[in-house]
Copies of this chain bind each other. A is one copy, B any other.
Amino acid sequence: MHLPTSVGYLLKEASSALRSAMEAVLRPLGMNVTHYSCLELLAQRPGLSNSELARGAFVTRQSMNVLLVALERDGLVSRAEHASSGRALPTELTPKGRRQLATASAAVRAVEVRMTASFSDVERAGLGDLLSRAVSSLRADHPTA
């Protein structure tokens, strides 16, 4: 079966394949993609709020909130009790969270390497560039809504 070959379809197909591959390597570690994404975001940007994490992981605030509650219960992250300014509650990784992320990050990186295994350096960079520009074009004159 050799379905549609539009760029849009290929984009969806690639994204789906990547997600499946990530789920496959994260499951043995007791994590899923959103779980991992949240930890990775917090490692790169300590102190992100629930809403910011939601945007970064492409889910709603509400979904991210239930995840954060679970992550805090498991001692992987710590949330501020009350906001120092505004309503945003900064979240940070605990040492335990950092350890779990380390193994997960290696597994995910391996998946990404496998995905671009046949690429030259130029092609690898080119794909990133094209995807960035595609995102910009879609968002131009089009409220994020």
Contacts and interface: CB of A to CB of B under 8 A. Distances in A.
A72 to B, nearest CB: 22
Contact of A44 (B4, B18, B24, B45): B4
Contact of A112 (B8, B124, B132): B8
Name which of A18, A132, A144 has the most chain B CB atoms within 10 A of its CB. Answer: A18
A15 B11 contact: yes
Contacts of A4: 40-41, 44
Q: Please classify how large the interface on chain A is, using the bins under 10, 10 to 19, 20 to 34, 35 or more.
A: 35 or more
A28 interface: no
A6 interface: yes
A67 to B, nearest CB: 16
Interface in A82-130: 108, 111-112, 114-119, 123-124, 126-128, 130
Number of identical monomers bound together in the oligomeric complex: 2
A22 to B, nearest CB: 8
A135 B7 contact: no
Contact of A13 (B58, B114, B123, B126): B58
A22 B22 CA distance: 25
Contacts of A45: 1, 3
Interface of A: 1, 3-8, 10-22, 24, 40-41, 44-45, 52, 55-56, 58, 108, 111-112, 114-119, 123-124, 126-128, 130-139, 142, 144-145
